[in-house]
Structure 1
Amino acid sequence: MTQRGRATRSTGSTGRPRRADGPRSGDRVGSPPRGDLAARRARLRAVIEPVLNEAGCDLEDLSVSPAGRRHVVRVIVDADGGISLDAVADVSRAVSAALDAAEEAGGDILAGEYQLEVSSPGVDRPLTLPRHWRRNVGRLVKVTARGALPEQSGGDRQVTGRVIEADDERVVLETDSGRAEFRHAELGPGRVQVEFNRLDEVGDDELGDNEDIDDIDDEDDVEDEER
């Protein structure tokens, strides 16, 4: 079963749960300096993206935000066919291990304690890249189209339709007026529409919301909270 809600795996400081005997030797306790977050994201991306690529996943978003005496690193991942809860947990462990190794090698990735959260995209994620549209074939979306539908002329307009086809060049939508084909350059960010009359056809894991999982060991049990 694939995941289209948000399954979140949250680990402890420096990528692993805090041990009962205190900080690890690599931990640097204290308020993190106010450095350049863009530079930190670049350092994190250089470590994380190869791990995700090896796992057959794409890095959809990466953010770093201060939270008291530590940073929170949020990693959003996705894959063709969706990403399962077990896959989220596996990717989280792999990313955590890679960050630990980079820190221990003197990489100074974040210069302080951090909490890692790995999750899959929620249904509210805007469709901006060809792969986003491809992964949502069959779903109802709303999008601003630059240009007209075949029977209309002029201006941008809101279009609601079901994604029938999508590839690296174009998107085909089934609208109330018939099928319409657009190049990606003609489309703004698309938004998946929740279809309440089809909820019985959708798995519970596709409607999940974020649920943080704390103090997870190697036998993690990742849960999905239904919206």
Structure 2
Amino acid sequence: MSKITERVEEIVSPIVADLGFELVDVEYVKEGPDYYLRIAIDKAGGIDISDCALASEKISEVMDKEDPIKEAYFMDVSSPGAERPLKKEKDYEAAVGHPIYVKLYEEINGDKEWLGELLSYDEEVIKMSVRIKTRTKEIELPRKKIAKIRRAVIF
């Protein structure tokens, strides 16, 4: 996590908690010439547009005062969606038994991307059930090699 996202998380966490929401993710990225601060929030029963607007308003007020980002940026406050990232241990716990998508920093068994069911996890590895052609296979992926991991929607 970058220093900017860490600082933004420190600023935003109490605001989001006071509103009765959960801070799911903070992402600060440059896309083309523009910078984007993306903040994902959630609550039991899900987040709607009015929740996002309220949180955005409260967060903007404090961000303007604290000014942790020197560049001009666009801020987006939204729901994490159905394909919610797995960031915290409770996210992993909630995803056990559900489909997940994993992108790795480097190939394992010839692949950098995996789609399957999360069977278990610990501090070092995740265990998944994946379908390879007509067979189902269990694999273990080291957590330190995971670039991105999120829930997956399979149709």
Aligned to 1:191: 151
Which one scores higher on RCO, CA 8 angstroms, separation ≥ 6?
Answer: 1
More strand by share: 2
SS of equivalent to 2:37 = strand
Q: 1:124 to 1:157 in 2, by over 3 A?
A: closer
- Following superposition of structure 1 onto structure 2, how do residues 69-218 of structure 1 map, counting pairs within 5 Å? 70-103=34-67, 109-126=68-85, 129-130=89-90, 141-142=98-99, 143-146=117-120, 158=129, 191-194=151-154
8 A contact 1:88–1:118 mirrored in 2: yes
Residues 7-46 of structure 1 correspond to what in structure 2 (within 5 A)? 38-46=2-10
Deviations 1:35-83 (CA, angstroms, capped at 9, x unpaired): xx71111221111111101111111111111245552101011111111
Q: What is the CA–CA distance in structure 2 between the aligned matches of 1:157 and 1:131, rounded to whole Å? A: 15
**Contact 1:144/1:190, CA 8 A, preserved across alignment:** no
Output the TM-score relative to the length of structure 2: 0.59
CA contact (8 A) 2:83 2:151 kept: yes
Aligned length: 113
Identity within the alignment, %: 23
- Partners of 1:64 and 1:83 lie apart in 2 by 21
Shift of 1:112: 2.1
Which residue of structure 2 lines up, in the alignment, with residue 55 of structure 1?
Answer: 19
- Cα deviation per residue 1:89-142 (whole Å; 9 max; x = unaligned)? 111111111101213xxxxx11121211111012122456436766x9xxx933
Q: Structure 1 length as normaliser, TM-score?
A: 0.42
**Structure 1 alignment gaps of length 5 or more:** 1-36, 104-108, 148-155, 160-188, 196-227
